[in-house]
Structure 1
């Protein structure tokens, strides 16, 4: 049996005979995921250098409300945000929010 762990997962195991991790497998609400991302990015901004804040700001502007941007623009902005977030320890919530949005593309 293999377990799939992702960046940002927190797992605590107690006792014997544990069989795996249960994750929320419901459909992702794209607008809720976008709001979560925007909140997480704003919290992250204070913890990154000015040039990374600029990348985050430009990417959030490109995302807009998610409705007007083309899929390629959305993916590019999400990659840029995730890239900045992955460089700092405090970026885990941002990376998780980006993943939820990307999952909504596949839904």
Structure 2
């Protein structure tokens, strides 16, 4: 499958992510994978909805994957914790593909 992966790091990069996805889909890519973690899950969903509205019936949301992973913090304060429990961060992957 010929796809691009867009990772969202900051909400301020939303417009750049939208432009990148539009250029990828109109430039010949079959699908775009939008990834967001933590606070950026809502931004990933917003980008997917904006793309769906702008591109019209030419694209569809083909797959949504939800998950979580351990989140390790850096710094001396966090390394001295007596409990060895790790924080967990949520993540989402939204795949947008061209309709056949």
Could you state the TM-score of these two structures normalised by the residue count of structure 1? 0.27
Could you state the TM-score of these two structures normalised by the residue count of structure 2? 0.28
In terms of Rg, which structure is larger? 2
Name whichever structure is richer in strand by fraction.
2
